[in-house]
Amino acid sequence: MPKMKTHKGTAKRVRITGSGKLILRTRNPKRNKRSRSKLYQNLSDVGAHSTVARAIRKNLPYA
């Protein structure tokens, strides 16, 4: 059976925490003048909805 491929567009937009929660990136990050690491820190309490998380996990099989 072949390896499953990760959807690279999803991988660039979603971060997975140590506990397994999905953190979504904000829209239009170039308007935000902060660095990417601070952008994720400010969104640490914003997780994906359960129905969206199910679809995202299909795109990230090894996450």
Give SS3 for 44: coil
Q: Identify whether 47 is part of a domain.
A: yes
Domain holding 55, by residue range, is 8-59
Q: Identify whether 30 is part of a domain.
A: yes
Q: Tell me the torsion sign for CA atoms 51, 54, 57, 59.
A: negative
How confident is residue 58, by pLDDT bands cut at 50, 70 and 90?
very high
Of 27, 28, 26, 23, the residue nearest 49 (C-alpha): 23
How confident is residue 5, by pLDDT bands cut at 50, 70 and 90?
very high
Q: pLDDT exceeding 70 applies to what percent of the chain?
A: 67
User: Average pLDDT for residues 1-27, to the nearest whole number?
Assistant: 86
Residue with tokens 């969206």: 52
Total domains in the fold of the chain: 1
Q: Identify whether 21 is part of a domain.
A: yes
Q: Identify whether 18 is part of a domain.
A: yes
Q: Indicate the average pLDDT of the chain.
A: 78
Q: Which two tokens stand for residue 1?
A: 């059976």
Return the higher-pLDDT residue of 13 and 7: 7
- For residues 10 and 56, the answer to whether their CB atoms sit within 8 Å is yes
